[in-house]
Amino acid sequence: MKKIQMVDLKGQYQGIKEEVNRGMQEILEETSFINGPHVHAFQKELEEYLNIKHVIPCANGTDALQIAMMGLGLKPGDEVITADFTFAATVEVIALLQLTPVLVDVDPDTFNIDPEEIRKAITPNTKAIVPVHLFGQTADMDAIMRIAKEHDLYVIEDNAQAIGANYHSVENGISKAGTIGDVSATSFFPSKNLGCYGDGGAIFTNNDELAHTIRGIVNHGMYERYHHDVVGVNSRLDSFQAAVLRAKLKNLDLYNEARKEAAINYTEAFSSYTDIVTPVRSGDCDSHVFHQYTLKIGNGKRDGLAKHLQEKGIPFGIYYPIPLHRQKAYLDDRYNEKDFTVTNQLVKEVISLPMHTELDEEQIQYITQTIINYLNQ
């Protein structure tokens, strides 16, 4: 059996080696390291894939979130509602911009932000909602967009984990995750579904004016060379990363299909075990691209299982072990533990299994059997 890894980037590289190496070589010959032809080509190709008007590449996903919020002109004191159960980058940039993060609880089945909890958290100072499409599954965008419209709020999608997923809207048909809100942010961190070989990120929007504003912000607030109209940042995708992303974008649907296959195999193997709750897909089969395959392990057995997997050499992840509202940096007197019952439970029960494009049936068989044997004893 091949060694089991949480993510197998080396195996994936074998399939795109020639194209990636050729791209790297071209960039070396051209010495076009920043804003070269590969960056422009990637931008166009991603716009086409997502069917969105503007993709603005930047240095990483955290920057993308920050720049999206800067582009919308959010001001200190504005309240931004986001999920308690997610990676800290989302709340971090809200706080960095001196906006006020308002964390709310999530849905126990999908782990995504609960629209009813968003409603309860709205105040006259609320300006934006940041749904995170967690673990590869789109949040309930119909409900979120309806709330946003009613209260005149911006929607910033954190699409770092769900690139390629389709959202099936009752009202507006099928669209790609990250193309529904006012603006979206994504990450090309190596382990993401569309990952490069370093750091990278992008902002998406259909709004021409916002796109123009953001293109200036990523480049020191310059709209005309050496004229700085707004306070900006320096956030760029480099050409090497763009060359990797171009090769991978062509295969993104195949990669996501391979993840889904692995997820189906896992779920089948676990189907009759009461201590294991397999991922719940709220929509059609293409609405989840399984950035993570995350189980809930009941009856207080999660930590024991984690220890057992470690002993058996099976990698796993606990995403996420601490709710954001209990992180030291984001403590706030307004929070009440009884408003976070779902997240408080999830942090004790979730465990994510190896998930990538190169998993084979033998590996999945070994992983699932090890888990079942442990829980059965």
Ligand X SMILES: *Cc1c(COP(=O)(O)O)cnc(C)c1O
Interface with ligand X (CB under 6 A): 60-62, 86-87, 89-90, 132, 158, 160-161, 187, 189, 199, 201
- Report, in Å, the least distance between residue 62 CB and ligand X: 3
- Residue closer to ligand X (CB basis): 126 or 161: 161
- Residue closer to ligand X (CB basis): 107 or 199: 199
2, 75, 127, 192: which one is catalytic? 192
- Report, in Å, the least distance between residue 339 CB and ligand X: 21
Triad 40, 43, 48: Cα angle to 5° = 130
43, 57 contact by CB (below 8 A): yes
Which phi and psi angles does 149 have, rounded to 5°?
Answer: -65, -45
DSSP for 214-282, written as a single string: HHHHTBTTEEETTEE-S---B---BHHHHHHHHHHHTTHHHHHHHHHHHHHHHHHHHTT-TTEEPPPP-
Structure tokens at 14: 């074998």
Q: How far apart, in whole angstroms, are the C-alpha atoms of residue 373 and residue 377? A: 6
- Report, in Å, the least distance between residue 196 CB and ligand X: 10
- Report, in Å, the least distance between residue 322 CB and ligand X: 15
- Report, in Å, the least distance between residue 326 CB and ligand X: 18
- Residue closer to ligand X (CB basis): 49 or 189: 189
189, 60 contact by CB (below 8 A): yes
Nearest in space to 184 (alpha carbons), one of 239, 246, 129: 129
- Residue closer to ligand X (CB basis): 139 or 276: 139
Distance from the first to the final alpha carbon of the chain: 25
- Report, in Å, the least distance between residue 140 CB and ligand X: 17
Region label for 73, one of left (φ > 0), alpha (ψ between -120 and 50) or beta (otherwise): left
Query: Is the N-terminal amide bond of 320 cis, ω within 30° of 0?
Result: yes
In the complex, which residue's CB is closest to ligand X? Answer: 61
- Residue closer to ligand X (CB basis): 163 or 364: 163
Is residue 149 among the annotated active site residues? no
Give me the residues paired with residue 201 across strands. Answer: 58, 187
| Torsion sign over Cα 366, 369, 375, 377 | negative
- Residue closer to ligand X (CB basis): 140 or 275: 140
76, 97 contact by CB (below 8 A): yes
CA distances from 365 to 44, 264, 270, 297 (A): 40, 12, 11, 19
Q: How far apart, in whole angstroms, are the C-alpha atoms of residue 161 and residue 169? A: 19
Give the helix/strand (H/E) hosting 175: strand 173-176
CA distances from 175 to 165, 168, 180, 309, 331 (A): 9, 7, 7, 38, 36
- Residue closer to ligand X (CB basis): 85 or 270: 85
- Report, in Å, the least distance between residue 161 CB and ligand X: 5
- Report, in Å, the least distance between residue 298 CB and ligand X: 25
- Residue closer to ligand X (CB basis): 70 or 160: 160
| Torsion sign over Cα 334, 339, 342, 348 | positive
Catalytic machinery residues: 192
